[in-house]
Amino acid sequence: MDSTVCEIAPDVYRISTFHPEFGIQLNQFLVKDDEPLLMHTGLKKMFPATREAVASILDPAKLRWIGFSHFESDECGALNEWLSAAPQAQAACSVVGAMVMVNDFADRPARALADGEVLGIGRRRLRFLSTPHVPHCWDAGLFFDEVDQLLFCSDLFFHPGNPQPLAGDEVLGRARESIVQNLTGPLAKDMPYTPYTDATLRRLAELRPQTLALMHGSTFRGDGAAAIQNLAQFIQETLGECKS
Ligand SMILES: [Fe+2]
Ligand SMILES: [Fe+2]
């Protein structure tokens, strides 16, 4: 698997690897700053490709932070490989993620971030929002770059294929189509609709992001608040009434 690199915001690089078997992109984001951060590691088996892409931007051994939303292999499967490659690197995830999974799984303890806590990495301030079960998993959380209004939104707005690095409102249509398609098949019911879903998505919209860095699909540029509200409405209509 080969990775392609695209700068989607100043010093924020999208490292995209298309998985031919799954038919989806796995996108990692490298944030170049005083304390460089990699958002998601990608799968363990993708480590050589991701490492090579990181090396085209900075020395991989200089990586300081590895952020991710929730404990799944595409988010943090190569965590231990990165901890080994970068001696100063530390995982940054939710308190639940650290306590329940990562501090046992990983070779070094994680920095456990409380809801609303800010991770300063130099010029940038990354605010961590605890978002249990959004997009999925108890330990889920998302990082918001307050300097460039960029939300690293993990699996929200998921869409398959190998689309272009940057896109506008067309991302919404693709994400809505995927939610419907994902109601059936072996990987069905990836996104739960819980008593917290509406309030969590409302809170994300209130951040007024201008860039939504998707893990699977094109990065969205535009009115992020409107896009999240639109998605929230669709999720409510589609999943809120889903009984089977
Ligand atoms: Fe996920
Ligand atoms: Fe994912």
Instruction: Summarize pLDDT for 160-199 with one digit per residue, the tens.
Output: 999 999 999 999 999 999 999 988 888 888 999 999 999 9
Residue 87 alpha carbon to ligand 1 centre in Å: 27
Residue 216 alpha carbon to ligand 2 centre in Å: 6
pLDDT at 186: 86
Nearest bound ligand to the CA of residue 191: 1
For the chain, give the number of residues. Answer: 244
- Whether pLDDT at 241 is above 80: no
Nearest bound ligand to the CA of residue 157: 2
- Whether pLDDT at 244 is above 70: no
Instruction: Summarize pLDDT for 215-236 with one digit per residue, the tens.
Output: 999 999 999 999 999 999 999 9
Residue 134 alpha carbon to ligand 1 centre in Å: 9
Percent above pLDDT 90 for the chain: 93
Rounded mean pLDDT of 33-52? 97
Q: CA triplet 64, 66, 70: central angle to 5 degrees? A: 160
State which amino acid sits at residue 102: V
- Whether pLDDT at 13 is above 80: yes
Residue 75 alpha carbon to ligand 2 centre in Å: 6
- What's the mean pLDDT when you consider all of the chain? 96
Q: Which residues have a Cβ under 8 Å from the Cβ of 153 and sit 6 or more positions away?
A: 135, 142, 204, 212, 213, 214, 215
- For 73, counting Cβ atoms within 10 Å of its Cβ (0-12 exposed, 13-18 middle, 19+ buried), the class is middle
pLDDT at 44: 97
Q: Which two tokens stand for residue 59?
A: 């020395």
At 243, the pLDDT band (50, 70, 90 cuts) reads low
Task: Report the C-alpha dihedral over residues 79, 80, 85, 91, rounded to 10 degrees.
Answer: 50
Residue 99 alpha carbon to ligand 1 centre in Å: 18
- Whether pLDDT at 242 is above 80: no
- Whether pLDDT at 122 is above 90: yes
Residue 92 alpha carbon to ligand 2 centre in Å: 17
Which of residues 240 and 43 earns the better pLDDT score?
A: 43
Alpha helices in 23-129 (DSSP H): 47-55, 73-76, 79-85, 95-97, 103-105
Nearest bound ligand to the CA of residue 140: 1
Alpha-carbon distance 107 to 105, whole Å? 7
Residue 140 alpha carbon to ligand 1 centre in Å: 9
Residue 182 alpha carbon to ligand 1 centre in Å: 13
Instruction: Summarize pLDDT for 72-111 with one digit per residue, the tens.
Output: 999 999 999 999 999 999 999 999 999 999 999 999 999 9
- Whether pLDDT at 33 is above 70: yes
Residue 217 alpha carbon to ligand 2 centre in Å: 10
